[in-house]
């Protein structure tokens, strides 16, 4: 299938087609004066003036909280009630950024690793990710430093490139994307026209060398080097970086309710919280904040690449933007790129 033209004025038809059939259409929209991915019912809600939405779209595949089982305590014992995964027939993630789309590979690898988590895979399988290549960025963007591109197609079903006229040249990347486009001939036109806008390329961070970081992290002798305490001394353990990160996936299972009935819920958790690895005995193997920060860095640049061959960091820059103490992961990457 060749490239197609998606005129901006046809986005309304696109939204209506999904919503009227009971599907969910997620797109960047204004929420509390910030652009964030959220469900939209009408094309007038879709925001096009953004760099990277405040949140990642992982919350539509891996919600911040959801029940996985219900229980009732009876005289005979505990009765468990299965909770059906709530998956829409179709979910469209429109206006994704290439970094966020690429992050789905990381989530998929962890949620299908030793157990297939249908709460995640069900929603991801029902989703069509329509990405818009970046024509704007800021100083926190660094996708190119982790081997991605601002017009890359990793994780996207359809890749859109904006034209000077404000329309989009659409390219189906996967079979799912092709089927989506083929079914919507009233929206995607064959006659492609328009000049593609210039793609934004993040500033090159010459000091970052992923190969050297990976080599340095392999030898766990670095665990107690003073460099970690120096680099992460500012971290206050708020967890904002993990909640905002498109690849962070840690969750906790919590029973909520009362003595007679309740729910077992899967809630987002964060390795930056001091209780994350706290044992019932009171022992905490990551008893200081720099150890918790070191773990997050290890997860991104050692555990993910070694265990899953996927990227633990896609360079979206959210952790830099949201950090209240401005702890910049690229500075740590640069430091770890230096040979000892
Ligand atoms: S956002 Fe900043 S202060 Fe908060 S846990 Fe992450 S690195 Fe630490
Ligand atoms: S670690 Fe930071 S830059 Fe990397 S993917 Fe997560 S939020 Fe984005």
pLDDT digits (tens, 9 = 90+) for 106-151: 999 999 999 999 999 999 999 999 999 999 999 999 999 999 999 9
- Determine the pLDDT at residue 85: 87
Cα 68 to ligand 1 centroid, rounded to whole Å: 29
What's the CA-to-centroid distance between 257 and ligand 2, angstroms? 35
Residues 6+ apart with CB under 8 A from 159: 98, 131, 133, 151, 153, 170, 171, 173
Q: Check pocket membership of 313 for ligand 2, CB cut-off 6 A.
A: yes
Question: How far is the CA of 174 from the CAs of 24, 154, 177, 188, 243, in angstroms?
Answer: 20, 10, 5, 16, 29
Using one digit for the tens of pLDDT, what is the confidence trace for 249-265?
A: 999 999 999 999 999 99
Please provide the average confidence, as pLDDT, over all residues in the chain.
95
Ligand nearest to the CA of 244: 2
Instruction: Supply the residue whose CA is at minimum distance from atom 4 of ligand 1.
Output: 238
What are the residues whose beta carbons fall under 8 Å from the beta carbon of 273, sequence distance 6 or more?
237, 239, 292
For ligand 2, the distance from its centroid to the CA atom of residue 278, given in whole angstroms, is: 25
316 lines ligand 2 (CB under 6 A): yes
Question: Which ligand 2 atom lies nearest to the CA of residue 103?
Answer: 5
pTM: 0.95
> Does the Cβ of 247 fall within 6 Å of ligand 2?
yes
Specify the residue with its C-alpha closest to ligand 1, atom 7.
235
191 pLDDT band, cuts 50/70/90, is: very high
| Average pLDDT for 299-321 | 94
Q: Is 329 in the pocket of ligand 2 (CB under 6 A)?
A: yes
If DSSP codes are grouped into helix, strand and coil, which group holds residue 293? helix
Q: What is the mean pLDDT of residues 295-317?
A: 94
* Confidence (pLDDT) at 220: 85
Cβ 133 under 6 angstroms from ligand 1 = no
Q: Does ligand 1 lie within 6 Å of residue 73's CB atom?
A: no
**194 φψ region: left (φ > 0), alpha (ψ -120 to 50), beta (else):** left
Domain assignments of the chain as residue spans, ordered by start: 4-337
Q: Which ligand is nearest to the CA of 325?
A: 1
**pLDDT reading at 211 higher than 70:** yes
What's 196-259 look like in SS3? ECCCCCCCCCCCCCHHHHHHHHHCHHHHHCHHHHHHCCCCCCCCHHHHHCCCCCCEEEEEEECC
Three-state secondary-structure class, residue 325 = coil
- For residue 311, which ligand has an atom nearest its CA? 2
For residue 340, what pLDDT is reported? 63
- Name the helix (H) or strand (E) containing 189: strand 188-189
**For strand 24-31 and strand 261-268, is the pairing parallel, antiparallel, or unpaired?**
unpaired
Q: Could you tell me the distance, in angstroms and rounded to a whole number, from the CA of residue 330 to the centre of ligand 2?
A: 10
DSSP structural state of residue 163 = B
Average pLDDT over residues 275-295: 96
Mutational test site, ligand 1, from 268, 272, 313, 321, max ligand atoms within 8 Å of CB: 272
């Amino acid at each position: 299938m060749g490239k197609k033209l998606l005129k901006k004025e046809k986005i309304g038809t696109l939204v209506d087609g999904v919503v009227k059939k009971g599907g969910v259409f997620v797109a960047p929209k204004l929420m509390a004066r910030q652009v964030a991915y959220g469900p939209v019912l009408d094309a007038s809600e879709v925001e096009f003036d953004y760099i990277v939405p405040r949140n990642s779209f992982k919350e539509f595949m891996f919600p911040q909280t959801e029940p996985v089982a219900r229980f009732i305590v009876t005289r005979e014992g505990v009765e468990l009630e299965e909770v059906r995964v709530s998956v829409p027939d179709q979910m469209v993630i429109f206006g994704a950024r290439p970094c966020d789309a690429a992050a789905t590979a990381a989530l998929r690898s962890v949620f299908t690793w030793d157990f297939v988590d249908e709460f995640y895979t069900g929603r991801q399988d029902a989703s069509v990710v329509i990405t818009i290549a970046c024509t704007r960025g800021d100083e926190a963007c660094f996708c190119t430093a982790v081997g991605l591109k601002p017009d890359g197609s990793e994780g996207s079903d359809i890749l859109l490139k904006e034209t000077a006229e404000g329309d989009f040249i659409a390219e189906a990347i996967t079979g799912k994307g092709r089927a989506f486009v083929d079914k919507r001939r009233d929206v995607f036109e064959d006659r492609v026209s328009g000049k593609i806008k210039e793609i934004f390329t993040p500033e090159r961070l010459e000091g970052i060398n992923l190969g050297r970081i990976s080599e340095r992290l392999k030898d766990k002798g670095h665990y107690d080097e003073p460099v970690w305490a120096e680099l992460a001394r500012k971290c206050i353990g708020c967890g904002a970086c993990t909640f905002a990160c498109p690849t962070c996936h840690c969750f906790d299972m919590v029973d909520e309710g009362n003595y007679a009935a309740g729910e077992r819920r899967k809630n987002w958790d964060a390795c930056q919280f001091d209780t994350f690895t706290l044992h019932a005995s009171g022992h905490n193997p990551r008893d200081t904040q720099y150890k918790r920060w070191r773990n997050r860095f290890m997860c991104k640049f050692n555990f993910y690449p070694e265990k899953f061959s996927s990227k633990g960091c896609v360079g979206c820059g959210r952790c830099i933007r949201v950090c209240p103490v401005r702890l910049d992961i690229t500075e740590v990457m640069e430091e770890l790129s230096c040979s000892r």
